[in-house]
Structure 1
Amino acid sequence: MTTTPTRLSKSARREQLLDAALTLVRDSGADGLSLPTLAEAAGVSRPIVYDHFGTRPGLLLALYRRLDERHRAVTTQALSTAEPSAAGIARVISAAYFACATDMPEFNAVSAALKGDPEMEAIQHDMYASYTDLMATALAPYSSLTADALRLHCVGALGAAEAIAAELNRERASTDDAITALTGLIMGRLDTA
């Protein structure tokens, strides 16, 4: 008995295509990702891929958003189980950040492939601001800084996190050392209440 393949809904097909695209980026880097290579890897026709993403930058932007959503979900989940203290929150934020940096190397590849794209810059700015707000909200109950000062502190910590993640990905630091360093930086000027 032969079964006919079921047709995926548009959203399920998009998820399947993004999964295949992430695999391609993981295996071959972002340079090897194009709409035709994605169609081939996913076993679909080119028009299906073009219908979902339109252009290569459209595909890369969709991948970037998906990776950011995963990063935010991991951090939010980790925060829900964090020890309710400044140090506990800072450590969980640090651990979640570096877990994503090492577990999702595609993030950097996709980001690099989109350098100079004006839409990408706007999206990165929005995502960065959103992640900063997530951090500041989690740390606010444990800080005597004003909301603006705490947010600026989080901006600085995220900048440091990016630099530390680069060292981690170059294998110039261990995960434990990276977590300890970022936790210390977050705590450094938190002015805990």
Structure 2
Amino acid sequence: YLYKELGVDPQTGNVSYEDFNGDGVITPADRQINGSVWPKYFGGFNNSFTYKGIDLGVFLSYSYGNEVYNHNRFFGEAGGARDAARIIFASNVDRWQKPGDVTNTPRPDGINNNNYKDDGSRWLEDGSFIRLRALTLGYTLPKLLTQKIKLDRVRFSVTGSNLFLITKYTGLDPESSSSSSQNAQGIDLGTPPSPRSFQFGINVSL
């Protein structure tokens, strides 16, 4: 349940919220369901191609229509003093400063005060993505060569994982989740992204 944010008032720099129950006051009773962690569509593409001794394997996956709660962004944009070791989000540069400013980042305010509610919909982002999960390139030595060294088959390969990601999500990884529970997915808070890795292999058949 989140407060649905309607934007920043250009005159005051304060966030406006939807009065869900219509009582004229913004209270916890105005929180409502916003978005869904479950994608509308998801799937993958797995294929391989061969030409003479060269083989190429491609594994793409995608997700569309799910949201991610970027809790890291909440802490990065919220007001308060920070030392040089803390991360300052680039969106703070566009923060409201004077009457007439049109921006999506409100004036500075204390955490969980009006402008920086921990449970505001501003931190909810589109988590759709396309990811190249694995790309494998292999080469199998010709039979004439392997027979000379008394081997049946020799194949060299290199595999790269998580080589690229296409997404509008502003966090590190739209698949990051601070909870291992299936009932609490889609919350990105202090979670490392999927690592990029490379593997080299040699397969030998006698």
Rg larger in structure: 2
TM-score normalised by length of structure 1: 0.24
Higher strand share: 2
TM-score normalised by length of structure 2: 0.23
